[in-house]
Chain A
Amino acid sequence: MERRAALFEYLLRLGDSCLVLGHRVSEWCGHAPELEEDIALANVALDLTGQADMLLGYAARIEGKGRDADALAFLRDAWDFRNLLLCERANGDFAHTIVRQFLFDAWQAELYAALARSTDAGLAGIAAKGVKEAQYHLRHSGEWVVRLGDGTDESHARAQAALDEFWPFTGEMFETDAVATELIAAGIAPDMTPVEAAWMRTVDDVLAQATLARPKSGWMQTGGSKGRHGEELGHLLATMQFLPRAYPGAKW
């Protein structure tokens, strides 16, 4: 695969994951269990949207067809999205939201730390900024996983159920296809084997403190990076893209 096209694809994967997960987290705003969590979750959503803006903006420049970050965010349909399937899953209860976030944050913190050393200066710069946010998010979600896991019987059961539900969505985080292979060879993207090992150490450490059991890794969901999404993404996009679609050409 041509390197520029591969980088565009790769940036879409990173940017779309931030955009879609940021959207999901933002749905909590005003409805969280505590005021402190309204603020914290809004902050996470804000950081992820900011990362999406940078990643998609860079993707648009790499593509060089006159699109910008907003055009990529608001004027593509579901099959052109490249986010992890985990990110589009519905919020569910607070345990689902926190466990989904934790699995993602632990991955993103490791990935950004590696990408900060990318040979591509544009990507390295975005990752270097993002890694601080990701570590902060990980501290927040990790502490909540421990609190819920080691809180009450009910919170433990809810956290374990969320973990069991989302575990099959974690395999996709570490897939290496032709796009990734091309970029790994150029030193633009990292080899995912050590990233996965570090992610697993973080997960195991937090789950042990939380008294939660790591689910067995069997069949894993896949398809986000190829645009094969679940049914929920279309509804998310229908909401997110409503205004630019309803008023074509308007500037906001």
Chain B
Amino acid sequence: MYTQGLDQRGDNAAAPARADDPAALAAFQARIDREEKIEPNDWMPQGYRRTLVRQISQHAHSEIVGMLPEGNWITRAPSLRRKMILLAKVQDEGGHGLYLYSAAETLGVSRAELVGQLLAGKAKYSSIFNYPTLTWADIGAIGWLVDGAAIMNQVPLCRCSYGPYARAMIRICREESFHQRQGYELMLKLARGTPDQKRMAQNALDRWWWPSLMMFGPSDRDSVHSSQNAAWKIKRVSNDELRQKFVDVTVPQGHFLGLTFPDPDLKLDEGTGHWNHGPIDWAEFNRVVAGDGQCNRDRLAARRKAHAEGAWVREAAAAFAAKRAHARAAKAAE
């Protein structure tokens, strides 16, 4: 889940490198325009490769960091059924991380290197995971809103021009949409439950609504621009279009739950059929992306701790594999 519009902010990785031969660039663009998929061994511009590595690895990191806020509730899930659903969901996220790191590896970068960037604090991940999961309703809100927003972002990526990424997204989107329905069903149970449960659901919506809207990234008016990514068919729909689609789908769902959205300006435009929302607090978004959110430090610390404490395990596995390989080689030489 959980790409956000970070790929358009503040750098020009998408700009074609000077070294790329104009004839090769033109032939590449012609392939893209014919909707051909680009495969790992095909020639591609340096900027295309860099953009994809960054976007896919951010997406993979988001899956891995995203395991933390939801994993926070596995041991406290209130029924055996809910515990199993949540375990399966978090396990799926780990699986998505694996596919995505593998897709990134087809572009010539190793998973160890990408994980190293995350642990060093140099790589970004979806900033929604820098918010805490305070109550059980947050698990429902994440499924309903965060996975819902992720699906909006990711469905167009199933048609991304880079084959391995597009194929990974098809499988991921199928699982995300399952998670989204489970999250909504959880919210429905709370909304139809006791007064305390309904209050819990409302409180979760109050906290997760705005960060969910921020998941689509900066407004099209303010984004650096994505014309190159659009031409390369990496990003096919703009941030604001995706955000609007999400709002239009989600607001009636929230009303069906009997919940209210924390936005006094939220209003249906009868003419266009769209739900207009109030202004997004971009200062908050930029602050959290830059590292000053409630959980940024905790999330990175948790990943670093797991990595550091697991070092001896990975060393043991490598040493064992080397011993076995050596033994096999010795046997073959006999």
Contact = CB atoms under 8 A, between A and B. Distances in A.
A and B: interacting chains: yes
Interface of A: 19, 23, 26-27, 29-39, 42-43, 45-46, 49-50, 52-53, 56, 69-70, 73-74, 93-94, 146-148, 150-152, 154-155, 158, 239-240, 242-244, 247, 249-252
Contacts of A242: 76
23 contacts: A29-B67, A30-B90, A31-B71, A32-B310, A33-B313, A34-B310, A38-B94, A39-B98, A42-B90, A46-B84, A49-B87, A53-B81, A94-B313, A148-B313, A150-B323, A151-B316, A154-B312, A158-B312, A243-B77, A250-B193, A250-B194, A250-B197, A252-B78
B71 A29 contact: yes
B254 interface: no
B68 interface: yes
B309 A33 contact: yes
Contacts of B75: 23, 26-27, 239-240
Nearest to B189: A252
Given A33-B306, A42-B90, A239-B75, A151 B84 contact: no
B220 to A, nearest CB: 34
Given A29-B91, A42-B90, A152-B316, 15 more contacts: A19-B80, A33-B311, A37-B310, A49-B83, A50-B84, A53-B84, A69-B80, A146-B320, A148-B316, A150-B320, A151-B319, A239-B75, A242-B76, A252-B78, A252-B136
Interface of B: 64, 67-68, 71, 74-84, 87-88, 90-91, 94-95, 97-98, 101, 136, 189, 193-194, 196-197, 302, 305-306, 309-317, 319-320, 323
B194 A33 contact: no
Contacts of A147: 316-317, 320
Given A152-B319, A250-B196, A49 B94 contact: no
A40 B41 CA distance: 32
Which 3 residue pairs across A and B have the least CB separation, nearest first? A33-B310, A151-B316, A155-B316
A49 B80 contact: yes
A242 B21 CA distance: 63
B314 A30 contact: no
Contacts of B95: 39
B87 A26 contact: yes
A238 B317 CA distance: 36
A94 B64 CA distance: 19
A23 B75 CA distance: 6
